[in-house]
Amino acid sequence: MSIRALIALVLVFAWLRGTNKGIATQSSALKAGWILTWSDEFDGPNGSPPDAKKWVVESGGTGWGNNELQYYTSRHQNLRQERGNLVIEAIKEKFTGFDGVQHNFTSARLKTEGRFSQRYGRFEARLKIPSGQGMWPAFWMLGDDFSSVGWPECGEIDIMEHSGSKLSTIYCALHGPGYFGANALTSFYSLPSARFSESFHIFAVEWEPQELRFFVDGELHASKTPADIPVGKRWVYDHPFFVILNLAVGGNLPGSPDDSTVFPQRMLVDYVRAYSPK
């Protein structure tokens, strides 16, 4: 190899490391026999919004069905691309939204509804999630018939939820008709000796017609099948779902922030990718 080619190779490797998109993260799913069908690598200019061709940014402060405290905005303070990541930032501030109500926190939420949905496959994201009392980051999916049949009939797949006070634990869950909310099919995964907020982790689900398997950093930690749902209830994971990312503040799962909670809090998204089987 010539010196010029070697220098070019070193520069490419340095760029990959700088954007947090190392070679291992690019190839893990491909080696397992998946075909990439959709992705966002969040490589836009610093300060730019997410790609409007891929994402719908939601706004509002109605509690979002969970008694959440934040008002979601599309402002760059709460949502922007930065150094190869999407930044979702929760801020403690006085903010009056379109509802005319003053809220004490702002954050961001975005979805692929109307832009991308898929039935079956592998869905993964490389995230660095925040921690702290009252923080509630999530990477999840809803059935694309949500607008017509409502929730929970549309189905919900929670790939990763984190109650910020439980520093080493994340949740995955399925919500459907007759098994939702506190009665959802929920599993937990805990790091042996670290906090999730300390580094990036890859959260994924592999979805087949009769099974969903959940992974953290390539480790299988939960599996759900029709045998797990209550007798007489419907398995609704047979149609396309769309992707959602959000960082909530307060709500039914984590409770409210307290004096120990530090703001602002950031959820960093290195990438989101969807695959189909070969």
**Per-residue pLDDT at 33:** 83
First-to-last alpha carbon distance for the chain, in angstroms, is 35
- Whether residue 5 is contained in a domain is answered as no
Give residue 193's pLDDT band: very low, low, confident or very high (50, 70, 90): confident
161 counts as catalytic: yes
What is the rounded average pLDDT of the residues 129-139?
A: 97
Give how many domains the chain has, as a whole number: 1
**Per-residue pLDDT at 23:** 38
- Whether residue 247 is contained in a domain is answered as yes
156 counts as catalytic: yes
Helix intervals (H) in the chain: 3-18, 23-31, 146-149
pLDDT tens-digit series, residues 57-84: 999 998 999 999 999 999 999 999 999 9
Asked if 60 and 113 count as a contact pair (C-beta separation under 8 A), the reply is no
Whether the pLDDT of residue 5 is over 90: the answer is: no
DSSP readout, 10-73?
Answer: HHHHHHHHHTT--HHHHHHHHHTTEEEEEEE---SPTTPPPPTTT-EEE-B-S-TTTT--EEE-
- Whether residue 145 is contained in a domain is answered as yes
What is the average pLDDT score of the chain?
Answer: 91
Q: Which one is catalytic: 68, 156, 208, 219?
A: 156
- Whether residue 10 is contained in a domain is answered as no
**Per-residue pLDDT at 17:** 42
Whether the pLDDT of residue 194 is over 80: the answer is: yes
pLDDT tens-digit series, residues 147-177: 999 999 999 999 999 998 999 999 999 999 9
**Per-residue pLDDT at 11:** 41
The two tokens of residue 104 are 């004490």
- Whether residue 41 is contained in a domain is answered as yes
pLDDT tens-digit series, residues 19-52: 445 434 444 665 578 999 999 999 999 999 999 9
pTM, 2 dp: 0.90
- Whether residue 104 is contained in a domain is answered as yes
- Whether residue 167 is contained in a domain is answered as yes
Range of the domain at 245: 22-277
**Per-residue pLDDT at 135:** 97
- Whether residue 225 is contained in a domain is answered as yes
Q: Which one is catalytic: 113, 161, 198, 206?
A: 161
Asked if 49 and 79 count as a contact pair (C-beta separation under 8 A), the reply is yes
What is the rounded average pLDDT of the residues 128-150?
A: 97
Give the CATH number for residue 212.
Answer: 2.60.120.200
**Per-residue pLDDT at 30:** 59
